[in-house]
Structure 1
Amino acid sequence: MYLYNLTLQKATAIQLAIHGNFSGTKQQEIVISRGKIIEVLRHDPNTGKVYTLLSEEVFAIVRCLLPIRLTGGTKDYIIIGSDSGRVVILEYNSQKNILEKVHQETMGKTGCRRIVPGQYLATDPKGRAFMIGAVEKQKLVYILNRDSQARLTISSPLEAHKSNTICFSIVGIDVGFENPMFGCLEVDYEEADQDHTGNAYCQTKQLLTFYELDLGLNHVVRKFSEPLDQYANMLISVPGGSEGPSGVLVCCENCIIYKNFGDQLDIKCPIPKRRNDLDNVNRGMIFVSSATHKTKSMFFFLVQSEQGDLFKITLKTDDGFVTEIRIKYFDTVPVATAMCVLKTGFLFVASEFGNQ
């Protein structure tokens, strides 16, 4: 006897959305997660319509989803972290119209646990490694490579654990072909946990930490850590190498800060507010989702506030140093869980409430 679980009415809300060349052609596809369903969508630039190529039940709750492309490769793979306690790398086969499992690594118990990695995922922009992190304590880094048949291979996990640390966001930092780096927003609550007076809790600051994967020595080190003046909820990676200044944009309440290690000064820019919000001093504003678009000659970011306002952010540079953040009102759309800027010039918005 075989038991089969089938939901007659599938979920319509989109939790996660990514885009890339998953079929290996020049055309871009969008991969979305609807809880326990993964769908591959294709956009027709002539009509503007989006149609579904493939819809697959994964029988798990998808917690994180990102594309990754090996250095010199022509197609993107899909990395999925779920409540199964595993990280899975999938490849979209356009001939058979199926998602093929390339790799599967078990790293913890099943369930959405706070110390089992799977909540946060970040990839190296050059496709050499990825970091998968838990809400608390655990972070694992996997190195990607090719074998003699040019198939994708994965290393054993390298640990970057730190106990008594809560993580808020992880991004892969674009450093060109230097050792891969990952930026994390963290809070160390060890002192606050042991102090019954509550003074240590009031003085606890959020940290921006950079983890470096040393490819020569094959281990992960905490390269740099600095306390932030105010709490942040999101990091956005800035293109680096020959394409930009590198570093991160730290999205805080009411402002956005550009940070990079070295001689770069912090550049701060307030978030524009609606006129009726300016009178209410106590009302803060945060960014909830972002999308990055880059070509060989330029890049910009689209960020969305919790009211649904879209802003376009550009960075002004001088001799490789960022001197100015320019933020410009773009449009207002329903609040999104994820956004994708396609090469055809279309913006895909996976709305939290409302039409996609």
Structure 2
Amino acid sequence: YLYYIYLSYIYLSIYTISIYTISIYTISIYTISIYLYYIYIYIYICVYIYIYIYIYICVYIYIYVYVYIYISHISQLLSLPSMCLFFSVAVCRFPNTGDDWYVLVGVARDMILNPRSVSGGFIYTYRLISGGEKLEFVHKTPVEDVPLAIAPFQGRVLVGVGKLLRIYDLGKKKLLRKCENKHVPNLVTGIYTIGQRVIVTDVQESLFWVRYRRNENQLIIFADDTYPRWVTTACLLDYDTMASADKFGNISIVRLPPNTSDDVDEDPTGNKALWDRGLLNGASQKAEVIMNYHVGETVLSLQKTTLIPGGSESMVYTTLSGGIGILVPFTSHEDHDFFQHLEMHMRSEFPPLCGRDHLSFRSYYFPVKNVIDGDLCEQFNSMDPHKQKSVAEELDRTPPEVSKKLEDIRTRYAF
């Protein structure tokens, strides 16, 4: 197409010169100028048409190549009947099936979010074949409500069906229900497992710690949170500690007391004794709040990870607006005291531009606890030199030393 554009230029130029040469002796200058004006308008239009066609062809080729490459990496596509949606997925292995891996998919039919209703749900079971590149349909299991959460657990699978927590095993024609707990208040949104413990997140009532007792084949809720949190995601930190985030933009860490862990692991009395000793219409034991922090955006994911080789672990979160944040633990009391005092001075010396109180914002739903706002501390380098010196003197440091402290904690965990 560029060739045709250049060729049009040459032809039209020759045509223009010939018209001008022939007409210069027979037509007035005004008429010649009109001819030239229309000729150049024609050239202008032709060039733009050719350029538009060229761009269109290039975009078409790019899209075609991109789609071809994308499809070439897809080994199999699964389709569902109309009005059915995927809500959860998990990869698990069952002990009586050899080395086969299975993919379980939670599906809801005719799902309406507000008011929440569903005509039925299914758990589709697929077997991974061809080295994990393809799925072979095995069977589907009908359930009463939407299966929002699926997690492998000790050779079986835990499924949150509405507000029911169930254990299923693999059968020939469908999944076989082995155990059930009906004490989750509203809707199971997440299932996390560690050892014999299961941590369940509810859509409105925060976290529930569940213990599976294999001998009695019972799922026992032995601890829960004292605050109603609308949990969107959660993350296991250790055997007793869970981090969670809610839809109002809060991140919290709760931990079971040490005596709770020991008592539950050794309690031989089973479900009744623990449930009959319930407290505040809930479980018999309560988790302690370790940390509260208001991010200001709905948090969609939490993950404990190491961002740099050889670095310390941190907790990374992402938000609905596309933000990415990091929560890092302090390794010494000296660092904690330093940044706590720096944050306190920054609140008074460098208030937000809109005039809002920083402490009130970070404590919007729950009082901020055991968290220091790194974004506010980072504003130290943006302050006037006079204010930097004033704040540094209050900390018994110099401005370069404060900046070095901020840089050290960044490079230790992230970048």
The answer to which structure, 1 or 2, has the higher relative contact order (CA under 8 A, 6+ apart) is 1
Q: Highest CA radius of gyration, 1 or 2? A: 2
More strand by share: 1
Higher helix share: 2
TM-score (norm 1): 0.49
TM-score, normalising length from structure 2? 0.43
